[in-house]
Each structure stands twice: as C-alpha cells, then as structure tokens.
C-alpha cells in the first residue's frame, strides 16, 4: 500500500481535471488520470508523475479498468473526482424535415450523468475496501444546474441530475464516513468548446476578466471540499473567485418533508 494518498480523476488530462491533478501532485498525492484522450492524458500523467488509463466514462467496464489499475498500483483510493464532461453535441432545437424527427444525440447526458453514476458506484465500493477510512467523492456539476441554460438544455439537465445524485448519496453514505460533494463552476476557460448553437451562428462570446472562473478558483473549491471533514452532500457554487454552499430548497409543507424521509417529520405523525 502506498504511504501517499491516491486520487483518481476522470477527465484528468485537461481543463479542471488537469488543474486539480497538478495541485494534488504538488501536495504529495499519487494521481491516476482517466481520460478519453490518450495524447493529453499521457502528457498529463508524465507531467505529474502519475499513471494514465484511457477511459470512455460512458462504459462501466472502461471505468472499472481505471479503478482496478489504480488499486493494483497503489493499494488504495482516497479521492475520486468525477469530472469528465462535455457540452451539448447537437442543436436540440434543430428543425427536422421529417416526422417523426431523428433520435436526439444523448452523448452529453451519457458522459455527464451516466459517467458520474459509474464513477460514484465504483468509488463507493473501493472506498469501502480502503485501508484508510477517510474517503471523498467530488462530482462536477455546473452553476447552470441552479438556474437554466436554454442554449444547452441537455447539458443543463445532466448537471441538475448530478446535484440530485450528490445530495442523495451524500446523505446516505455519511453513515459510512464516505463524503460525497459537488462543485458547480461558472464560466471556466477550458477546451470543452462552445455550445453548438453559438458555433452555428458564428458567435464567440467574450467575458470580462472578473466574470471568469479561473483554474485557481476551481482548485480552491475542490480543496475546500476535500479538506473539510464535515462536508457531506455540499453543492458548492463557484462564481469567479467567490464560493457559495447552496442549500437544497425548503420543503413547502410537512407532507413533502414526510415523503422525503425527514426524521423530524416522522416524529410528528
């Protein structure tokens, strides 16, 4: 077993995943990078002295191989960052010349939702076998999941789902001292690209410097959750340099509180 803590990061070859990989490596962690892009994934692993596994996060077996390889290499997994994601890959609003219209492309939801579910399922089981019982799963949602993103409806829906997954798992796995949380970034300059609709319109948006969520802001948010032993089911919005722990909506009445399993509500009936 490695004496160092071990992190597994999906989408770790670029963007948010790469920024986090670099910081954890500087902090003395062993880092396992799982990414679909073999070139950038290998380059990232070489840079930080970690390992790389080419992974399609929409495939359970593909993700399982990355977890297995990481465990075989270091004998522990302390932190999983389920971070892989893509924007909408097609214009959901495109006018069809046929009825019924063609089946919509759901790759975005498969990557952003199914990928997170697979990562969470694997992380939970490996954490239960971990020799050190201080384990953390952080998933990447989006600030759009608190509001709406009309131009990215599938991406927005997928990121809403990640919040539901985070809050549900976070509440239940707290019993096992497994911490599940999520970051909800604003606009981050990564290679994830532009919405298809903007590309079609030839629009390249620009943001004022103070409205951009920078790499150091994201890394700070990840470290806040990773290093907080009391953080369970936290959804942490990252708006440029500011961070906000967003609470779930209030129950409208006792009936809904009862249906959602709140203990204090049960005691009243």
- Residue-wise DSSP of 64-126: HHHHHHHHHHHS---EEEE------SS-TTPPPSSSSPPPPP-HHHIIIIIHHHHHHHHHHHH
**Tokens at residue 166, please?**
């985070």
Dihedral sign from CA coordinates of 259, 264, 268, 269: positive
What's the CATH superfamily of 6-266?
NAD(P)-binding Rossmann-like Domain (3.40.50.720)
pLDDT at 119: 98
| pTM of the predicted model as reported, rounded to 2 decimal places | 0.92
pLDDT at 155: 94
pLDDT at 187: 76
pLDDT at 2: 86
pLDDT at 269: 47
Domain map of the chain by residue range?
6-266
**What is the mean pLDDT for each group of 10 consecutive residues in the chain (269 residues)?**
94 93 97 97 97 98 98 98 93 94 96 98 98 95 94 95 98 97 84 54 59 87 98 96 94 89 61
Sheet holding 135-140, edge to edge: 51-54, 30-35, 6-10, 79-82, 135-140, 178-185, 235-239, 242-246
């Amino acid at each position: 077993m490695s004496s160092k803590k071990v992190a597994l990061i999906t989408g770790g070859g670029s963007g948010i995943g790469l920024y986090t990989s670099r910081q954890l490596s500087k902090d003395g962690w062993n880092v396992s990078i799982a990414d679909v892009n073999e070139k950038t994934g290998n380059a990232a692993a070489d840079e930080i002295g970690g390992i790389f596994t080419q992974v399609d996060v929409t495939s359970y077996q593909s993700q399982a191989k990355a977890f297995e390889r990481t465990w075989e290499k270091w004998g522990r997994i302390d932190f999983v960052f389920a971070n892989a994601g893509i924007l909408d890959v097609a214009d959901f609003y495109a006018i069809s010349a046929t009825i019924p219209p063609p089946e919509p492309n759901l790759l975005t939801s498969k990557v952003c939702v199914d990928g997170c579910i697979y990562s969470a399922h694997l992380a939970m089981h490996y954490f239960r076998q971990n020799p050190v019982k201080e384990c953390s799963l952080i998933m990447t949602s989006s600030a759009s999941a608190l509001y709406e993103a009309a131009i990215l409806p599938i991406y927005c829906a997928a990121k809403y789902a990640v919040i539901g997954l985070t809050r549900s798992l976070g509440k239940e796995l707290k019993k096992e001292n497994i911490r599940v949380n999520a970051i909800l970034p604003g606009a981050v300059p990564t290679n994830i690209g532009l919405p298809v609709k903007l590309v079609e319109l030839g629009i390249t948006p620009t943001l004022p410097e103070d409205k951009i969520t920078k790499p150091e802001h994201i890394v700070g948010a990840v470290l806040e959750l990773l290093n907080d032993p009391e953080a369970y089911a936290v959804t942490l919005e990252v708006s440029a340099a500011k961070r906000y722990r967003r609470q779930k909506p209030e129950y409208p009445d006792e009936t809904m509180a009862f249906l959602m399993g709140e203990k204090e509500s049960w005691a009243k009936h």
